Structures are given as structure tokens and as C-alpha cells.
Structure 1
């Protein structure tokens, strides 16, 4: 494997029945009769892509999150267009589109017009996380693809400067509770961010002519070296310093140490309610990692069913970046 895995390679056989029943029309094994190799094809494409370029793992996970938070998990973020979701400023650094397109093309060759782009993206997000160290979990399928993609709808997405209160409100609007918020943000353990998203913290935070005081003083020079005050704002920086290739709980430990890169992440440690939830993942050791793995899987299943389209809603796109 490309990544060092700290947790044992075990199969999550747990089918989160209570969650899965929330999305009528979605179920584990939806394509068993109509396209039985769909999931293995997607897995093969994703695995190959990540082994050739590890940055695809966080890219695909983020792509999935940005899709689900805007009008549900309907692959609307994949649609091209001069005013589509892709053109929103918050989506300017999304990546992984080509991997989803490649998986869709392979699936279409075997089962034309059967498997939705929304399901391929959901499966690819799971497979990306598995490639970086988490045990596999089952993903309910049966979503259909949306017909609308508007840049203005991306305002619903959590932002890199959001307070804990705002993040809680945005997640609640999607039916996700505070613990699921803190758990899903743990995906930043394999993430990166452009300097543009946090450079305001490094030099003149809130017009104080000083850095954000919540940043660890020993860590601050590292960020300033990577992101000079008047430097290239597109340079990408690891969100989990020292462990970005492993899907583990060190991200939470970095928040405790004042080494959160994004302001929104730091706010989860400085807010008393979310801090208690961050703290639960900080304990070192295998049992804690397994607890995080299980909670992350459950939260991903729930996220994957936000405002899904099923039955006769939407369509099954032939190509993911445009409607039929």
C-alpha cells in the first residue's frame, strides 16, 4: 500500500440500517442486479488514481462534501457551465473531476445508462478514504443526478473563516448534528488548503497588525515561510502537519496544540461545546482510532443521504459534466 496504515485492515460489515432507511430508494447493493461490478470498477479507478497522485484522495473527498452540501448529493458540482457551482469562489480549488469522469466512462462501457454520477462520486469518496487508512464501510446507492447547478447556491457551504456557531448552523440545516460536524471535519487530516484561505491569520488578523493569537508561536514561522504576506496565494499547505498521508486523529491533536491551519478549524477548539467533542478524538492509541473510524463512517453515510434524488427525480447522466 502507498500509505502506512495504523489501523488493522478490517471490513466494516456494519450496515447502518437506521441511517440508510432515511433515504427512500437508496440501499446497499442497489446495482447488484443491474450492474454488479459497478462498485469494484469505481474502486479500481480510484485506487489507481490515488497511487499515481495521492492528492486525489483529499480532492475527491472534498468534491463529495461540496456536492452534498449544495442541494444534496446529486452530482450537481460536476456540471460544467458559466454559472455552475464550479464557478463559485469557494469551489475554485476543487479537484478530482477527471477521476470521477474516468470511473463513469468505465462503468458506462459495462452498464450504459444505469449508474448515476452521484453514486459514483459517493463511492469514490469512500474509496479515497479507505486508500488512506480507514476500514471500508458500505455505501447505500440509488441516487439520481440533478439537473441544476448554480454558483450562488454554493453560499450554503461552510467557509474557512466560519465561527463554530455558523458551522453548527450550516450542518444543522443539512440534518447533521454537532458531533457529526466535528467528525466530518476530521477529513482535513488528509487535506490541504491554498494560502489564500488562511493567510489573513498570519500577519494582520482582524486588523490588529499581528497574527492570530490562537496560532502556536512555534508553528507560526512555518506557515509564514510557506505563505509569505505578499506571496503566491495558490500555494497549498497541509492541514494536518506531519501526518497528511494518513487518515488518523492527529489532526485533532494539532487543533489542541494551536496548529490548526484554517480559522474555522481553530474555532472548533476554542468553542466550549465543540472543544469537548474534539477532545474525545485526541487520546492516543488503537481504540481511539477505531472509534474515530466508526464515527466517521457513520457520519459519511448520513452525509451521503442529504437531500438525495431517487425514483423518477433527476436523471442518470451519460457524461458527468453535462445533463443528457
Structure 2
């Protein structure tokens, strides 16, 4: 591995990115508060993910979630690809937050990157499962906290494996090329985490698409249809395969939802629907996500340095003692 001390981004570019990120977060938060009737947990999710992904997060929000005109959110978020975006954002909000917080803390203990990444993995999985999945979604699923944990465990593990498969090599490679990115007091740390989250979102999207399609995870929602803690019982029996339904069958829905094309956004977040997916299919997809994680680890080890530690002098690393290189 050829490590060098040439920054992978100039300081001015980082500060420009941070300024655009601030504007993006403020806009997304304002829009969610004033006009887009997204579920409360997803409002937090969108704000967090936009904080990590900046203008890219704003663009994703604009095209997949922002209500284009009053009363149209149900129809707008109904397509399956947007439902999968919602699942991915929820995943990133929980998992990436745990990973970033752990990385910021462990940097003070001088652990090697090879140890650090697995602490971050555990923190991301725990934060995503215990808080963003089970705690925030238990009322919507109509379950106790323990039952919500049980039903969320496998889908969250699959999502986490895919998210880490993207974040792990991105973090390690960028930090290997500029060790300032290992310390939370450096702007390069936050830039590296932003890049890692972006890659993690892209890599985990196909897995979340499969999970939503098979009703193993929830997708995008709306407060008007789902309320703040669940949906009316009479909505449960609406056929999800029909593609069309009459608004009169569900008085809680506005007229715009009647021509949604898909009813996923108007149906309850029934994670138990995964019972229709065979154990073999679940096992195969789980193994695929573990393979993705293994590939991510291989890329990190091949193109990064898993032995590096925060605070190690740059000159002490391979390739750093060449004349003419300066910090």
C-alpha cells in the first residue's frame, strides 16, 4: 500500500462542501416541518442523512420524498424505488450515525484501524437496531419493544452489512491517504465520513429494495395515511397487489392517494409480511450481504492500511519519508 501525505481534498473544497451541507440541512428541515407530511422518524432520518451527505442528500430528498404539491405525498412516494429510498435513508440514519459517533470516540484511544472498524460496525448495528428500528418503529408496527427487536433483527443486519460494505473501504482508504481524517477535530474526518456515507447509501440501496419489495422492511410513508403511531385497522385488508384502490375504502386517505399506482405508502408497515419469504431466500440474501462486507474489508486491506493508528506521525508511515513532501 502506497500511503502518501498529499491531501485528497483541498481545505477550501471541504469548507465549501460544509457550507452547502448547512444550506441543504436547513432547507430539508424547513420543508419537512412546514409542508411535507413525512413520518416523524423519517423526518429525523432525512435531516441526519442530509447532514452526512450534503447537497446529494438534498437532491435525493427532492426527487423521492418532497411533496410536489399539497395532498400528493401518498401518490408521490408510492413507487417501489422511492419506498426503497425511504428504507435506505432510515438505515443510513441509524447505522451511519452509530458508525460516525463510534469513530469520533475511538479516535481518542489510539486503536488501530483494524480494531476500530469492528467497534464502529457493532455501534452502527446497535444504534440502528435498538433505536432507529425497534424503538422508533414499534408503535407503527403495533408491537412491543421486544417483538419489534425480534422482527427487525435480520432485516437490520442485512442492511447494516451492506451499509458497512460501502463505508468501511471508503473510510479506511481516505484515512490511509491523510491520517488527519482519523481525528474528529479535523475537517478531513467529517469529509471522509460524508464520502463514506454516500458510498454506503449507494451500496445498501439494492439490499433495501429487496427488503421493501418482500415486506421485510418499511418504505417511505406519510403522516396523513399512517398517522403518528400506526394506521387504521380497516386499511390492513387493502390488496397490495392491485395497484389501484378506491379512496372510499380508506377514509383516512386523501383523494390523491386513490390513484397512487401502488398502495405501499398507504398500507401499514407490516414487517411480519416477511413470513411469505422462505427461510432459504433469507439465508441466501444474508450470505450475499456478508459477502459484500467481506469484499469491503478486502478493499480496505488491499488499498488502505488497517494497522494505522490516530496520532502516528505521517513520516513514520510507508512512503512518508520521501523528500519534498510536506504536511
Tell me, yes or no, whether TM beats 0.5.
Answer: no
Q: Is the radius of gyration larger for structure 1 or structure 2?
A: 2
When normalised by structure 1's length, the TM-score is 0.24
Structure whose residues are more often helix by fraction: 2
